[in-house]
Structure 1
């Protein structure tokens, strides 16, 4: 990537200036130039670089190893993949840690039925829901999602300009429509005021669902959905400053990532399949 960047920009800037902007020592650059001249890239190296580029550097070497087999029928030892990744300075984006915040006063508290058991033998047995802030547009938006713990698929979502009870009720109603108005599903949430509200709990009860809540101040009780929201921000918005995009662009990027997550992003838990493909295979 450094060699390509220098080749592209050297007509306009000096090599020293380009390397300084990239934070790359001159010694490394010229050593890479010699390597590029003396030894062409192997099929495996080209495939790894293509995978990193196509997935926007979202995956680590373990997932890249699985994708090499799936996409190119190339089987490499995990250490070999890691060495090739390090050789070409390819890195997965590191997810920033997120602090949990409780939301408002509680009205109706449901028991923690899941108790951190995030496995499900069938679809539509256990759902988990949460809200996250999206602060990259001109105004803050609030994303509400519902995930099926069978295959970690995002069943429904809503992106609103406010964090009020209709946001979570509308998300729940959409999930019921998508999954054909199921009954008896356990729906885990935190103890935020929107989830403990009478209106939301009435919606749960009227649709014959079972409400479950994580313990107050304990983000590990809903770690799966917390992790998903962290992935969304670190993978889709890592290099975006707060309040730097148009609201329309933010919405489009959220929708694009949700589709990517369900249909293209492989997961180790699912045997390196995507949520959608795992659901079809299991069915």
Structure 2
């Protein structure tokens, strides 16, 4: 006859390891129960929050330690993160926030913005000339990939008769470290510059441009749909405002 809603594994854990021998025995039992009820998907951050709802307040590190002792962990795949040590093509910040230029085609800045249209994501890559803050070229794609930024760069180069002394500045995004992107720069004698890690102010002009674009176009309009005109480009069909 069932006398408790406690899971079998929780019960046997308490039987095998009496509370008198382990001051965390009670909370460990609840950790096991929460873990099993989540289908083994909860890691220590979510288990910590679940324990708080039961009146048990523990530091995340403590909960992580207890889970390690119980030999349990979330079965959800951990997201891969790029470590700084693996990055081999980071350039120095040669632009150094000098966001003015005496002549056209001496200083370009570039970045990629994510735009949501009807719960779908599209990506806009743009290159701006700091001489007059004009967008020299842009590419739009459903995929934030190397092909998009290279196409954007090729467009800008094709429009430029002379790239002598030209420098292009971006963040440290993996797309700007790609071999093909750097090769294209080298072939056209374009110097590369990058923002310092995690410092958006080093590319503030592009950040400001994308913020204005979203406020004045994306947020105040309703979009009917997104139509792929070929493998890369996207055309936005704007519906009347409502």
Q: Distance in 2 between matches of 1:114 and 1:152?
A: 15
Q: Distance in 1 between matches of 2:160 and 2:237?
A: 25
Task: State the secondary structure of the residue aligned to 1:140.
Answer: strand
1:251 aligns with 2:235: yes
The alignment's C-alpha RMSD in Å is 2.3
Q: Which is further off, 165-174 or 177-186?
A: 177-186
Contact 1:116 1:221 in 2 (8 A): yes
Q: Distance in 1 between matches of 2:150 and 2:213?
A: 22
Q: Which runs of 5+ in 2 are unaligned?
A: 1-80, 229-233
Q: Which runs of 5+ in 1 are unaligned?
A: 1-102, 255-283
1:145 aligns with 2:129: no
Residue in 2 that maps onto 1:110 = 91
Q: Distance in 2 between matches of 1:232 and 1:253?
A: 16
Matched length: 150
Q: Distance in 1 between matches of 2:189 and 2:145?
A: 23
Quote the offset at 1:135 in angstroms: 0.9
Residue in 1 that maps onto 2:115 = 134
Residue in 2 that maps onto 1:34 = none
TM-score normalised to the size of structure 1?
0.49
Compare relative contact order (CA 8 Å, sep 6+) and give the higher one, 1 or 2: 1
More helix by share: 1
Q: Distance in 1 between matches of 2:180 and 2:129?
A: 23
Q: Distance in 1 between matches of 2:93 and 2:111?
A: 15
The structure number with the bigger radius of gyration is: 2
Task: State the secondary structure of the residue aligned to 1:247.
Answer: strand
Q: Distance in 2 between matches of 1:174 and 1:160?
A: 15
Aligned with 1:223 (options 204, 208, 213): 204
Task: State the secondary structure of the residue aligned to 1:129.
Answer: strand
Deviation track 1:185-239 (CA, whole Å, cap 9, x = no partner) reads 1100000000011221111111110000001100000000110011110001223
TM-score normalised to the size of structure 2?
0.57
More strand by share: 2
1:193 aligns with 2:174: yes
